[in-house]
Amino acid sequence: MKKEVISTKNAPGAIGPYSQAIKIGNLVYTSGQLPLNPATGELVGEVKKATAQALENIKVILEEAGTSLDKVVKTLVFLKDLNDFAAVNEVYATYFTENPPARSCVQVAKLPKDAILEIEVIALAD
């Protein structure tokens, strides 16, 4: 199986030695997406807006790979503060309205750029 690097200018560029996503076979693995606005490079700090921004970044990466949010089978959410769990869920539920993917959500000590959250996904590709 051949590994394909997925890259789009519609999402923030990698801030380290990694790809935005890798497609192998019929799976796409995204790197963790911070709530960075790809147009300005600004980090979104309010939890609901940050959740939406991270998921929008994931959405465009998946589209570049030829798939979509409705094909996501697994998500992993990293939170700076687990007290934000309910607020994240409120926004997250608007992106995954039917048959939501399996998910893990954990609190972490620190994220790159001191972000309040980071989200990564695994999705099926056609």
List active site positions: 105
Burial of 21 (0-12, 13-18, 19+ CB in 10 A): buried
CB-based burial label for 12 (10 Å; 0-12, 13-18, 19+): buried
Rounded distance, CA 91 to CA 84, Å?
11
